[in-house]
Amino acid sequence: MAKYIFKRVLLAIATIFIVCFITFFTMNAIPGGPFAGEKAKSPEVQAALEKRFNLDKPVGQQFLIYMGNLLHGDFGVSAKTGREISDTIGSKFAVSAKLGVLAVLLAVALGVVFGSIAALQRNRWPDRLIIFLSTLFTSLPSFVLGSFLLVIFSVRLGLVQAWSPDHQNLVLPVISLAMYPAAYITRLTKTSMLDVMGQDYVRTARAKGVAQWKVLFVHTLRNALIPVVTYLGPMIASVLTGSLVVEQIFTIGGLGAEFVQSITNRDYPMIMGVTIFLAVFMVTMNLLTDIVYKVIDPRINLG
Amino acid sequence: MAEEKNILSVVDLHTTFATDKGEVMAVNGVSFNLAAGKILGIVGESGSGKSVSAYSIMQILEKNGSIKSGQILYKGEDITKWPESRMRDFRGKCCSIIFQDPMTSLNPVFTIGFQLKEAIKLHTNRTGKEVEKRAIEMLELVGVNEPEKRIHQYPFEFSGGMRQRVMIAMALACEPDILIADEPTTALDVTIQAQILELMKDLQKKLGMAIIMVTHDLGVIAQMADEIIVMYGGRVCERGTAEDIFYRPCHEYTKGLLRSIPNIDSMGKRLEPISGTPINLLNMPKGCAFCPRCDAAMKICLEQQPPETRTVDGHLASCWKAIQAEIEAGMIHVEAPGSGT
């Protein structure tokens, strides 16, 4: 197990390096730069700024300098605000994480519960309704759902404040983010429950005299959740990328909004910082998923 | 009284499955008695209703299956009338079952110990350490080496034969009166088969439970059973001791079945398979179920179901051909219906 984790961490470092490489060079390949803005600056100021952010050097050298600083844990400062990148990411991520965690929890809860109901009520109306809704929500992108919810609940009904500067009201953004994964998990749980319910060991459990609910929650569900756990990694990724847009719609000042803004601003250090942070996050999530997978299913051999 | 000695009596059992294509008549009027401590063999080919009869007793049929009519008497009480809560106590405590495929019959994500202890906790008052002790004791009894260590392992760490031993341990942990073995050796290779059968016979002597042995393997049944039932198309064709069935078969299906397996007399000869395919259970014929495949079929076989009668040598069969033989032997005196042909 320890050996496996060590191996995975090494692989993760390689992955993150590649992400850095690609991002850095594509970012520089896009026309414009942090200081090619609308405001006219004197050539001296322009040159000073470029020197400050090493933009006067060749791209290859810039990359090496950046990676060197990164090894010391130095993400640099924003080219726009001059604030430390790591501070900004830290504070913004707290907001996004809250949104993300709530969305993931909601998605898993809804998905597992409705998926199980659909499996148990197979071919009856609850099943049909659940599958209809889950098809609907899997084909509805989060930004469409978000805008839709915003129009109905904020503009028409006035129930929820459309703009929440203090990030107090996360109900609508959480729902818009959670519905797609919830719908997906519902379908996954249903299929997998049906499969497991037909397995011989479920019949064995019944034949032992185990009560019906216990057969379901102990013997069936644990097996049925294995595919759902595998989906958790990609799901967290999709919730995160989904939040880039959803944060914009609901004007939540999270990491997603920051990321989108940094790209429009060509804020090179910020783009790099957020990208690396997200990459590390994603890789960690995938590793965690694999470990949880092993905990649920002892047959999985990590190594 | 003979009634009281029977721990289990199945009376005119009908079990059907509702499917998209119609009602599948899997079991059509099966009756048998199981005496305490005896071994009853149920033989028949795939789809003859032998497993469904066994599952009906446990009431662990698939969702679309149901017992349409008939009685299943356990110690004189009709368990088909019992509520599910009472059936839960029946399963595992009064009657246990082991299944055909040990590879898939154990839950892959729980340890052997968990699954064994679950069975013990359900039906006994044992707690904590005692449960563990009993589990280890059972594993030892069925011949699993190093039970203290094995109890913490998962099914995937066991071979097929070992898993079947675990299944047996689980089934017998609460000392049931009846053990149903649904093709317990079919999925195992031959050397392991013999070991498992030996183990079952051994445990039967030690613990004294009655066994219902469901199989399509005549060799398995010949060694073990006190009484044998031959089933076809959800009905009993013939019943008797192993000798009756093997040396004096009366039903045409039993005869065909025996011709299709190799024995010492048939050396050098070709085996004769029973021609045709098993009966379509969606569409049961009016007469004898085996009639479409029977070489000796008569007109009456098509029209009327044969009643169960005592054969010339004293066991029971449901075959018009056998009845004809009985008439010829002067055992039955009738004007109709068999003599018409």
Note the pLDDT tens digit of each residue in A48-66: 888 888 888 888 888 998 8
CA-to-CA distance for A106 and B252, rounded, in angstroms? 65
pLDDT band at A256 (very low <50, low <70, confident <90, very high): confident
Phi, psi of B65 (to 5 degrees): -100, 145
Q: Which residue of B has its CA nearest to A204?
A: B105
Give the tens place of pLDDT for each residue, B104-157: 999 999 999 999 999 999 998 888 899 999 999 999 999 999 999 999 999 999
The pLDDT of residue B4 is above 60: no
Contact at CB, A200 and B170, closer than 8 angstroms: no
- Residue B95's pLDDT is 94
- Amino acid present at A193: M
The pLDDT of residue B267 is above 90: no
* Alpha carbon of A286: minimum distance to chain B alpha carbons (Å): 22
Burial class from Cβ neighbours inside 10 Å (0-12, 13-18, 19+) for residue A98 reads middle
Give the tens place of pLDDT for each residue, B225-247: 999 999 999 999 999 998 899 88
Burial class from Cβ neighbours inside 10 Å (0-12, 13-18, 19+) for residue A158 reads exposed
Size of interface A-B (CB pairs under 8 A): 69
Mean pLDDT across chain B: 88
- Residue B105's pLDDT is 94
Q: Looking at beta carbons, which residues of chain A come within 8 Å of B163?
A: none
The pLDDT of residue B336 is above 60: no
Instruction: Pick B99's closest partner by Cβ from A204, A296, A298.
Output: A204
Give the tens place of pLDDT for each residue, A122-141: 889 999 999 999 999 999 88
The pLDDT of residue A110 is above 80: yes
Instruction: Pick B119's closest partner by Cβ from A199, A208, A211.
Output: A208
Higher pLDDT, A14 or A164: A14
CA-to-CA distance for A58 and B167, rounded, in angstroms? 71
Higher pLDDT, B175 or B1: B175
E strands in chain B: 6-19, 22-35, 39-43, 65-74, 77-78, 95-98, 178-182, 210-215, 227-232, 235-240, 309-310, 316-317
SS3 content of chain A, % helix, strand, coil (to 5): 75, 0, 25
Interval B217-222 mean pLDDT:
84
Give the tens place of pLDDT for each residue, A277-298: 888 888 888 888 888 888 888 8
CA-to-CA distance for A265 and A119, rounded, in angstroms? 49
- Residue A139's pLDDT is 92
Beta carbons of A138 and A184 less than 8 angstroms apart: yes
The pLDDT of residue B209 is above 80: yes
CA-to-CA distance for A136 and A138, rounded, in angstroms? 6
Higher pLDDT, B335 or A196: A196
Instruction: Pick A209's closest partner by Cβ from B91, B107, B109.
Output: B91
Interval A57-86 mean pLDDT:
86
CA-to-CA distance for A9 and A86, rounded, in angstroms? 22
How many CB atoms within 10 Å of residue A140? 16
CA-to-CA distance for A180 and A149, rounded, in angstroms? 14
pLDDT band at B1 (very low <50, low <70, confident <90, very high): very low
CA-to-CA distance for B207 and A112, rounded, in angstroms? 44
- Residue A303's pLDDT is 62
- Residue B339's pLDDT is 46
Contact at CB, A209 and B122, closer than 8 angstroms: yes
How many CB atoms within 10 Å of residue A268? 23
Instruction: Pick B60's closest partner by Cβ from A201, A206, A297.
Output: A206
Q: Which residue of A has its CA nearest to B152?
A: A298
Classified as helix, coil or strand, B8 is strand
Chain A interface disruption, residue of B85, B87, B105, most A CBs within 10 A: B105
pLDDT band at B93 (very low <50, low <70, confident <90, very high): very high
- Residue A166's pLDDT is 60
**What is the per-residue DSSP string for B124-179?**
S---HHHHHHHHHHHHHHTT-SSHHHHTTS-GGGS-HHHHHHHHHHHHHTT--SEE
- Residue B153's pLDDT is 94
Chain A interface disruption, residue of B107, B117, B122, most A CBs within 10 A: B107
Instruction: Pick A200's closest partner by Cβ from B88, B99, B109.
Output: B99
Least confident of A123-132, B131-140, B171-180, B279-288: B279-288
Higher pLDDT, A2 or A195: A195
pLDDT band at B15 (very low <50, low <70, confident <90, very high): very high
Q: From residue A15, give the alpha-carbon distance in Å to each of A12, A70, A80.
A: 5, 15, 28
- Amino acid present at A17: F
- Residue A293's pLDDT is 82
Residue B263 tokens, joined: 């024995």
**How is residue A217 annotated by DSSP?**
I
Chain A interface disruption, residue of B109, B172, B214, most A CBs within 10 A: B109
Interval A228-251 mean pLDDT:
80
Percent of chain A whose predicted confidence (pLDDT) is above 90: 29
A contact set with B (CB within 8 A):
199-201, 203-212, 219, 222-223, 226, 296-299
Interval B297-325 mean pLDDT:
87
Beta carbons of A256 and A96 less than 8 angstroms apart: yes
Residue A283 tokens, joined: 């890789």
Interval A31-46 mean pLDDT:
75
Q: Looking at beta carbons, which residues of chain A come within 8 Å of B105?
A: 200-201, 203-204
Instruction: Pick A209's closest partner by Cβ from B88, B104, B154.
Output: B88
Interval A148-156 mean pLDDT:
86
Classified as helix, coil or strand, A280 is helix
- Residue A241's pLDDT is 67
Least confident of A94-103, A201-210, B33-42: A94-103
Closest C-alpha among B160, B168, B164, B153 to residue B109? B153
Contact at CB, B99 and A223, closer than 8 angstroms: no
- Residue B341's pLDDT is 42
* Alpha carbon of B136: minimum distance to chain A alpha carbons (Å): 18
* Alpha carbon of A206: minimum distance to chain B alpha carbons (Å): 7
Q: Looking at beta carbons, which residues of chain A come within 8 Å of B170?
A: 204, 208
Sign of CA dihedral A92, A97, A102, A104: positive
- Residue A172's pLDDT is 86
Q: Looking at beta carbons, which residues of chain A come within 8 Å of B89?
A: 209
Percent of chain B whose predicted confidence (pLDDT) is above 70: 96
Instruction: Pick B109's closest partner by Cβ from A207, A208, A296.
Output: A296
Interval A144-163 mean pLDDT:
82
pLDDT band at A250 (very low <50, low <70, confident <90, very high): confident
Least confident of A162-176, A259-273, B20-34, B64-78: A162-176
- Amino acid present at B242: A
